[in-house]
């Protein structure tokens, strides 16, 4: 049994800010270059803001120039759902967390080949960052070996 679970909609709405709720539950997007983590370079872990499930490591984060936090890969591919998104007149791949059903952002195949070619372009509003020095205190000590 997983220690991560999706809270009730009422609990989610109570827990999140208006922006976080709009992004995570209504498939919104925050503004580029005006979000918490687009230029965060601290070592640490990014988790689903709704469930706490580990999603991305800072070691896989890079500056894509997009204004949103971008990662070359998730910690675990099985933690994510990839859905076709044809909104806004574009064909994209929406990325949601599997357990929380949290809208995280989109997957693009425009990253440099040297980085693997994939760009997980995520919304800061969908993530919570846990600094390396806080991992053990927050219950994520198994990720310390990644740094």
CATH number, domain of 22, equals 2.170.150.20
Does pLDDT of 42 surpass 70? yes
- Give a yes or no: residue 4 inside a domain: no
Q: Which residues contact 65 (CB under 8 A, 6 or more apart)?
A: none
- Give a yes or no: residue 86 inside a domain: yes
Using CA atoms, how far residue 69 sits from 4, 82, 109, in Å, is 23, 18, 15
Tell me the percentage of the chain whose pLDDT exceeds 70. 99
User: Which is the catalytic residue, given 57, 121, 125, 130?
Assistant: 121
pTM of the model: 0.95
- Give a yes or no: residue 3 inside a domain: no
* Pairwise CA distance, residues 105 & 127, whole Å: 10
Check residues 2 and 38 and name the one with the higher pLDDT.
Answer: 38
- Give a yes or no: residue 2 inside a domain: no
Over residues 32-39, mean pLDDT: 97
- Per-residue pLDDT at 134: 98
Over residues 111-137, mean pLDDT: 97
Compute, in degrees rounded to 10, the torsion defined by CA atoms 74, 97, 14, 124. Answer: 40
Range of the domain at 25: 9-146
Over residues 113-131, mean pLDDT: 97
- Give a yes or no: residue 43 inside a domain: yes
pLDDT tens profile 51-100: 999 999 999 999 999 999 999 999 999 999 999 988 878 889 999 999 99
Residue whose structure tokens are 């827990």: 15
Per-residue pLDDT band at 1 (split at 50, 70, 90): low
- Per-residue pLDDT at 103: 98
Question: Which structure tokens are listed for 128?
Answer: 């919570």
Number of domains in the chain: 1
* Pairwise CA distance, residues 8 & 70, whole Å: 29
121 part of the active site: yes
- Give a yes or no: residue 1 inside a domain: no
């Amino acid at each position: 049994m997983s220690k991560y679970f999706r809270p009730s909609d009422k609990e989610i709405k109570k827990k999140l800010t208006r922006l976080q709720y709009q992004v995570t539950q209504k498939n919104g997007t925050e503004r580029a270059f005006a979000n918490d983590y687009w230029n965060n370079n601290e070592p640490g872990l990014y988790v689903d803001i709704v469930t706490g499930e580990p999603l991305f490591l800072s070691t896989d984060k890079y500056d894509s120039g997009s204004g949103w936090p971008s990662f070359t890969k998730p910690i675990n591919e099985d933690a994510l759902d990839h859905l076709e998104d044809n909104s806004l007149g574009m064909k994209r791949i929406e990325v949601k967390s599997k357990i929380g059903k949290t809208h995280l952002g989109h997957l693009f195949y425009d990253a440099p080949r040297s980085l693997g070619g994939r760009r997980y372009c995520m919304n800061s509003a969908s993530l919570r960052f846990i600094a390396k020095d806080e991992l053990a205190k927050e219950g994520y000590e198994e990720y310390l070996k990644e740094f």
